[in-house]
Amino acid sequence: MLTVDEALNKTLSHIQPLGFEKASILNALGRVIAEDMIAPRDLPPYDNSGMDGYAVRYEDIQEASEKKPVRLEVIEDLRAGFTSDKTVQKGQTIRIMTGAPIPKGADAVVPVEETERGNGFVFILKTGFPGGYIRRAGEDVKRGDRVITKGDIIRPSEIGMLASMGRSFVSVYQRPSVAILCTGEELVDVGESLDGVKIVSSNSYTLAAQVRECGAVPIQLGIAKDRKDEIKEKVLQGLRSDVFVSSAGVSVGDYDFVRDVLKELGVEMIFWRVAMKPGKPVAFWMFDGKPAFSLPGNPVSSMVTFEQFVRPALLKMMGHRQIFRPVIEAVLKEEIRKEPGKKHFIRAMVSFENDGYFVTTTGPQGSGILRSMVKGNGLIVIPEGQEIVRAGEKVKVQLLNSSEL
């Protein structure tokens, strides 16, 4: 049986980034850019005012003060979006708005708060400084600068930069389509009758949400009953997508047909069963260059194996550099005992207290207790060989939701 690390390495060694596509810059939010963005022009493109105030010659105002104000003639009002054909001469100034180009002859801007306006003139009440409140051409970006690097995630700031550079479309990595199939005679969809012994196929929605959270595109294939022909039909449909994910049907029960169907269809099994808890019966396959994952049916096992194997694979396919959840060290508040030989992923609540991280379990850890995931924001990771972790010791915690800390 493979260790978690061995299984993850095997998985990622078979995963390659998808191709590129063009997207409008707003639709590119959260995507990974597939090209270097080289600035075609300076930003700002010209010297402009950083304040509402007066464009002046510094030599005219260098001795100005409230006790000894300097009087200047106002020869024009200049708004942003317009230029002036006038030159500021000795004893003159131009009233200027933020963003307006600096007029000829001026080498500083005095903020309006440091002036007192008269009729056709203004008193300058402070000295200011040479070049004061002037935003120089190219001080943000110079033509030829690489402003966004291939592989960067496009955030709102990157969208603003792309717009500033005149780009309405940009090349991004494609998002994989992920077909999701849940199997089981006992499963029904949301809103259907439970009929005594039926249960809702929550995995159909949990997995779709996990796929969407990654930025990929979920395709819900619905539920296949424990009949080979029905499973085969759904699997064939799912294998048309970029990635196929099934839940349940990969253990050793008499009605666990997913593995058999995949083998019959010529899908190559890379591994089956991993030394982990929960999630031991997880399997990874390749079909015509496309990855397929068979996850356990228990809700927590399904979520945890998705986190450890499917999520990193999807992020790699989408060109992400950082494909793993952040891992921190935290002080354990309670003792944990586990069986040796498997890496355990224990649902936990992480908090930040007194300049450090602390962690406690969410309670019962059964693989069917979905509430343990709802309550938790992390997974305590205990290595295969360790059996006891005592309260007060530090443990590794994989953060599932760092925004809560």
Per-residue pLDDT, 253:
56
How do beta strands 92-96 and 53-56 pair?
antiparallel
CA 290 to centroid of chain Cα atoms: 24
Per-residue pLDDT, 275:
97
Interatomic CA distance for residues 301 and 304, integer angstroms: 5
Per-residue tens of pLDDT for the chain, all 405 residues: 999 999 999 999 999 999 999 999 999 999 999 999 999 999 999 999 999 999 999 999 999 999 999 999 999 999 999 999 999 999 999 999 999 999 999 999 999 999 999 999 999 999 989 999 999 999 999 999 999 999 999 999 999 999 999 999 999 999 999 999 999 888 888 888 877 788 888 999 999 999 999 999 999 999 998 888 999 999 999 999 999 999 987 766 544 788 889 999 999 999 999 999 999 999 999 999 999 999 999 999 999 999 999 999 999 999 999 999 999 999 999 999 998 999 999 999 999 998 899 999 999 888 889 999 999 999 999 999 999 999 999 999 999 987 777
The CATH architecture that domain 48-135 belongs to is Beta Complex (2.170)
Per-residue pLDDT, 251:
66
How do beta strands 53-56 and 146-148 pair?
unpaired
As given in the structure block, the two tokens for residue 59 are 């030599």
Interatomic CA distance for residues 71 and 315, integer angstroms: 63
Question: Which of 276, 279, 231 lies closest to 256, judged by CA?
Answer: 231
Domain 20-44+139-173, classified CATH 1.10.10.10, yes or no: no
Helix, strand, coil shares, percent, the chain, to 5: 20, 35, 45
**Whether the Cβ atoms of residue 31 and residue 23 lie closer than 8 Å to each other:** yes
- Degrees (nearest 5) of the Cα angle 323, 169, 29? 35
3-class DSSP string for 283-338 = EEEEECCEEEEEECCCHHHHHHHHHHHHHHHHHHHCCCCCCCCCEEEEEECCCEEC
Question: Which of 136, 137, 144, 149 lies closest to 39, judged by CA?
Answer: 144
Sketch the domain layout of the chain as residue ranges: 4-17+175-317, 20-44+139-173, 48-135, 327-404
Residue type, position 385, single letter: G
What number does CATH give the domain 4-17+175-317? 3.40.980.10
Per-residue pLDDT, 252:
60
As given in the structure block, the two tokens for residue 43 are 């930003």
Q: SS3 of 395, please?
A: strand
**Whether the Cβ atoms of residue 310 and residue 206 lie closer than 8 Å to each other:** no
Question: Which of 221, 226, 200 lies closest to 211, judged by CA?
Answer: 221
195 CB neighbour count, 10 Å cutoff: 8
In 248-257, which positions are buried (b, 16+ CB within 10 angstroms) versus exposed (e)? bbbbeeeebb
The CATH architecture that domain 327-404 belongs to is Beta Barrel (2.40)
Per-residue pLDDT, 360:
97
376 CB neighbour count, 10 Å cutoff: 22
